[in-house]
Structure 1
Amino acid sequence: MSTLYEATATAWGGRDGRVSSSDDRVDLSLSIPRGMGGDDGPGTNPEQLFAAGYAACFHSALKAIARAQKVDVTDSAVSVTVGVTGGLSQGIDLAVTIEAQLPGVDEQVARGLLDAAHQTCPYSRATRGNVRQDVRLVSDED
């Protein structure tokens, strides 16, 4: 299979350092969150970066599926929460919650779109079976 696109990033200093992409579009300081024993400094962290990438990827998959089915999801939004679970003794894992808002879309249609997006999103495919995933349809009242 041919590669459509590649991205490369390099980290210095681990969770308390810096990360940069090879094209310099990403160049960020990293800080360890207080909940993980850090000082909660001003930098971002790997979980925030993963959540941002997953949300953008899932939303793109959702929009592509909706476009193919001729469903208007213009005002849709996708949020991804990445949790760190476990500990050093039992192992550290990730857990992902995907929440999508699809205003004006019938609930049954919306759930079908979410299921299809979850089957096609590269992040969902890459983590399936390795990361606990929960996909939720939410309204703006939630």
Structure 2
Amino acid sequence: MSRIYTAIATATGREGRAVTSDGKLDVQLDRPAEMGGEGAGTNPEQLFAAGYSACFASALALVGKRMNLDVSDASVTAEVGLAAVDGGGYGLEVTLRVELPEELQGEVGTKLVEATHQVCPYSNATRGNIPVELVVE
């Protein structure tokens, strides 16, 4: 692999701050209310969902272009769940909801989304590590 770009961020924990080295992202972190926090800030799962949905949408545009399909009206929503796993640890599970224009519904849309899942860096990083469900809407 030949590195194209490196993002650098530093966090002080679930109840602190996360800041990128260039200062473009500087967010307050807090546990969600469902996990006993006040929910005053964002959390790692929300940041992962934002990153994965943005990355998948970008990959969708690339794959759509390769397949000569107009995906300019498409959107991607990532649902990232945090779950307890055996041994006392935690794991993630993801559902990607890809909303496609009506003309891309059905088999064409399914093939597009499946091909995108093979290209997206987040999908490649998570494959075999966490469950990712693809939903074409």
- Please say whether Structure 1 and Structure 2 have the same fold, judged by a TM-score greater than 0.5: yes
Normalising by the residue count of structure 1, what TM-score does the alignment of the two structures yield?
A: 0.91
Q: Which runs of 5+ in 2 are unaligned?
A: none
| Equivalent residues in 2 for 1:49-128, closer than 5 Å | 49-86=47-84, 89-103=87-101, 104-128=103-127
Q: Paired residue for 1:32?
A: 31
Q: Which runs of 5+ in 1 are unaligned?
A: none
**Cα distance, 1:71 vs structure 2:** 0.6
* 2:7 maps to 1:16: no
Normalising by the residue count of structure 2, what TM-score does the alignment of the two structures yield?
A: 0.94
Tell me which stretches of 4 or more aligned residues in structure 1 moved more than 4 Å: none
Could you list the per-position Cα deviations for residues 4-60 of structure 1 after superposition, in whole angstroms to 9, with x for gaps in the alignment? 000000012x0000000000000010111011121222x111001000000010011
CA distance in 2, matches of 1:98, 1:90: 26
How many aligned residue pairs are there? Answer: 136
Q: Paired residue for 1:137?
A: 136
Could you list the per-position Cα deviations for residues 60-103 of structure 1 after superposition, in whole angstroms to 9, with x for gaps in the alignment? 11111111111111110000000001168542110000000111
CA-based RMSD: 1.3
Sequence identity percentage: 46
CA distance in 1, matches of 2:91, 2:47: 16
1:59 is paired with a residue of what secondary structure? helix
